[in-house]
Structure 1
Amino acid sequence: MPPAADPANAPETPPEASLAQSAGDARRARRRTGQAGLEEQKRAFLRLVSHELRTPLNSILGFSEIIAAELYGPLGAPQYKEYAEIIRMSGKKLLKLVNQVLEIGRLEGVELEVGPEAIEPAFEAAVFGAAGDFVRGVHSRIIEGPDLPLVLADPWGLRTVLTHLVQNAAAFSPDDGEVRLRAEARDGWVDLFVEDDGDGVDAADLPRLMRPFEQGENALVRRVEGAGLGLPICELTCRAMGARLALSSEPGKGLVAKVSLKVA
């Protein structure tokens, strides 16, 4: 058995190597400190935006609703009521945008706590949450199938994803179109589908729809007002739950959004 090495006889680390290692450690420490500082700045910014934008917007919405409803008596000229309604609707759009931007920032790098969730109540909640988007004769249909197992999901996250997908499908459906919700179980997963009968989109344009604020040139993105944040919020929420979101489409054949969740 060879004798143990004597630490006293071990070769000394060259001073240059020690200096280089120290410099590398210092750079890594500064990088970690800088990243922590950026995260704190982002949180502070989100808190500021949440208060400084939401507070006046809530006042605009509240007082415009009071004026439009003529709670304190008639306004006189009918145009005043019309203008108050325009203010209210514009305020609602801006508040929705603020909430979506804040949601994008909140979800980045977050892991949501998941537990057993049922599919049917989530489908029903999504259709109810998107009720205001079913206009022009567009309607929804939940396709019933065999009994499904519970899935691992965050209850808020699952309903948020499905509501956004149903809203998106309703917005891009043709007049009297149908939004379909269905689910299929496979090998430890459950796939949830939200389908529409819209114009569809070229497969090469699908990745663009997943990027925040991306408007692109396709009618799927341009035809309806919005900042293009609904699908990115769905993608981030799915990641935070350990789920997967995939889009598929062909021009003229609508869009299919598939959310894959692990069986509980």
Structure 2
Amino acid sequence: MTLVTRVSVAFLVALALALSGFSACLYVLAGLRLRLDLDQELEATLDRFPERRESASGRVAWAVYDDAGRRIEGSTGAGSQAVLDGRDLGPIAVDVAKTIADRDGLRWRVLARRIGGRGRHGPPPDDRGGPRRPPPPEKEARKGGGPGRDRPGQVLAAWASLEPVEAELRWLALALPLISIGLWGLTAAIGHHFGRRALAPLTLMAESARNMPFDDGRLPSPGTRDELDEFARSFNGLLDRLHVALERQRQFTGQASHQLRTPLAALVAAIDVARRRPRTAEEHERILDRLRDDAGRLWRVVEALLFLARADADAELPDAERLDLAAWAAGHLRLWSDHGRAADLHFEASGGARPWTRAHRPLLAQLLDNLLENACKYSPPGTPVVVRVAEEPGAASLAVEDRGSGIPAADLPRIFEPFHRAESARRQGPAGVGLGLAVARRIAEAHGGTIVAESEPGRGSRFVVRLPLVKADTREVVREPGLTRSPDGAGPHGG
């Protein structure tokens, strides 16, 4: 089922319910109004009696009855059927309109009122319009009524047939469904037409997405300046980000394959050379040392790739703990005492700062080792490499500064991308993989922090790691880091 059909069906069901409810309410209200009009006409007939004995519409009849239900006098002509003759008028003589049925099954609306004596309006008028005199007692006796026939207990009643009202309601009950069905059908046709036109841009975008090439493409903008236009812009923005990520993944895969093949090829070549002829124990030791170096390089590349490939959820730090960043960094530098550049390494705490942060000690040690190894690799021996700790608003900063060749401004935006190396570093610098800074950035982000690079060619570089600042804990004791190796082999780090 298409979206247009689903939207149309939902709308038409709602419209059908609305029309049904409206028709039912209109039918009920019309019936109440017609009966109310009839009741008001009955009451008006009684109120005008005896001055005016006929109703304005001619559909109301009236009569005066005694308690036994015998008619004393009444209207003549159409609608004057004696529907109350012989009835017990006690239950209906209460000034409330009631519906009754006659012997033929016809339904009537009746309103009765006790008038007592000659009624509150006096005796009924004669044919000349004047007051009609009561008949003499002897005439009453001859009729069998006897004296007191029009004494208290007389009832004035007015009635009208419900057939016209019920006929109008039957016509309304037939007309309302037909009108509702006609409106529903017309709305269905118009709604389906405009629904298809309104969703035509979405259909076009879906067709474009279906025929879009995997590695490139954009959805056409509908130009409607509404939610569909915003959807197209948002989706195209997502496609742009996916294309960038896909391109980076391709580069990453190609570079990773190259970096993995190089040490593997060296290992295979060294093994083949070693097997060509018998060798002395010293030669085998040299070959094994070379194989160990190549295997270590391969291991560092694999570890770095695995760390970079971890999902964000896997990069959480369950063993993170609060630590004094200055005390920890100073203690960690002591592990570099046997490094060839140990004399060039210096530690400074700006203003005696003792910022505290929450970190995973092995990963933080790996980050610092990567930055130190990078600084030692791209700065000449004898120049200082400074590890500086400072406290900034809301952050604890750890910076590594060198006086090396620096990084060209064009390469700074990509310096933390995997396998990226500046052109000058590839030409002049020592061999490297290009994963150390990428791993450092991932570790900083896993700690909820950031890392930035500042550099000026010919004057050196400065890498600054900013971690969230936490409240100091005087009970915390900084443990001496143990002597281990970082996963990418950048140098010793604390555990």
- TM bin, normalised by shorter chain, reads 0.5 to 0.7
Q: What one-letter code is carried by the residue in structure 1 that aligns with 2:373?
A: Q
Q: What one-letter code is carried by the residue in structure 1 that aligns with 2:407?
A: V
The answer for the alignment partner of 1:243 in structure 2 is 449
The structure-2 alpha-carbon separation of the partners of 1:236 and 1:136, relative to structure 1 and needing over 3 Å to count, comes to closer
Q: What one-letter code is carried by the residue in structure 1 that aligns with 2:369?
A: T
Q: What one-letter code is carried by the residue in structure 1 that aligns with 2:398?
A: L
The answer for the alignment partner of 1:97 in structure 2 is 301
Question: RMSD of the TM alignment (CA)?
Answer: 3.9
Q: What one-letter code is carried by the residue in structure 2 that aligns with 1:141?
A: H
Quick check: 81-90 or 140-149, which moved more?
Answer: 140-149
CA contact (8 A) 1:107 1:237 kept: no
Where in structure 2 are the equivalents of 1:48-59 lying within 5 Å? none
The answer for the alignment partner of 1:155 in structure 2 is 361
- Cα offset, 1:208, TM superposition: 2.5
- 2:404 matched to 1:198? yes
Where in structure 2 are the equivalents of 1:176-215 lying within 5 Å? 176-215=382-421
Q: In the aligned structure 2, how far is the partner of 1:242 from the partner of 1:170?
A: 27
- 2:316 matched to 1:112? yes
CA contact (8 A) 2:353 2:390 kept: no
Q: How many residues align?
A: 218
Q: What one-letter code is carried by the residue in structure 2 that aligns with 1:119?
A: L
Normalization by structure 2: what TM-score?
0.38
- Cα offset, 1:249, TM superposition: 0.4
Please state which structure has a larger fraction of its residues in helix: 1
Q: In the aligned structure 2, how far is the partner of 1:137 from the partner of 1:220?
A: 25
Runs of 4+ in 1 over 4 A off after TM superposition: 10-18, 107-111, 128-132
Aligned with 2:346 (options 138, 141, 148):
141
CA contact (8 A) 1:141 1:181 kept: yes
- 2:432 matched to 1:226? yes
Aligned with 1:257 (options 439, 457, 463):
463
Aligned with 2:283 (options 74, 79, 91):
79
- Cα offset, 1:88, TM superposition: 1.1
- Cα offset, 1:80, TM superposition: 2.1
Greater relative contact order structure (CA < 8 Å, 6+ sep): 1
Normalization by structure 1: what TM-score?
0.67
State the secondary structure of the residue aligned to 1:218. Answer: helix
CA contact (8 A) 2:370 2:440 kept: yes
- Cα offset, 1:79, TM superposition: 2.0
**What runs of 5+ residues in structure 1 fail to find an aligned partner?**
1-5, 28-52, 65-74
The answer for the alignment partner of 2:39 in structure 1 is none
Q: What one-letter code is carried by the residue in structure 2 that aligns with 1:207?
A: P
**What runs of 5+ residues in structure 2 fail to find an aligned partner?**
1-12, 20-186, 211-259, 272-278, 471-495
Q: In the aligned structure 1, how far is the partner of 2:326 from the partner of 2:280?
A: 49
State the secondary structure of the residue aligned to 1:143. Answer: strand
- Cα offset, 1:110, TM superposition: 4.8
Quick check: 105-114 or 222-231, which moved more?
Answer: 105-114
State the secondary structure of the residue aligned to 2:385. Answer: strand
The structure-2 alpha-carbon separation of the partners of 1:153 and 1:229, relative to structure 1 and needing over 3 Å to count, comes to same
State the secondary structure of the residue aligned to 1:212. Answer: coil
Q: In the aligned structure 1, how far is the partner of 2:360 from the partner of 2:298?
A: 27
The structure-2 alpha-carbon separation of the partners of 1:247 and 1:151, relative to structure 1 and needing over 3 Å to count, comes to same
The structure-2 alpha-carbon separation of the partners of 1:184 and 1:147, relative to structure 1 and needing over 3 Å to count, comes to closer
The structure-2 alpha-carbon separation of the partners of 1:78 and 1:263, relative to structure 1 and needing over 3 Å to count, comes to same
The answer for the alignment partner of 2:91 in structure 1 is none
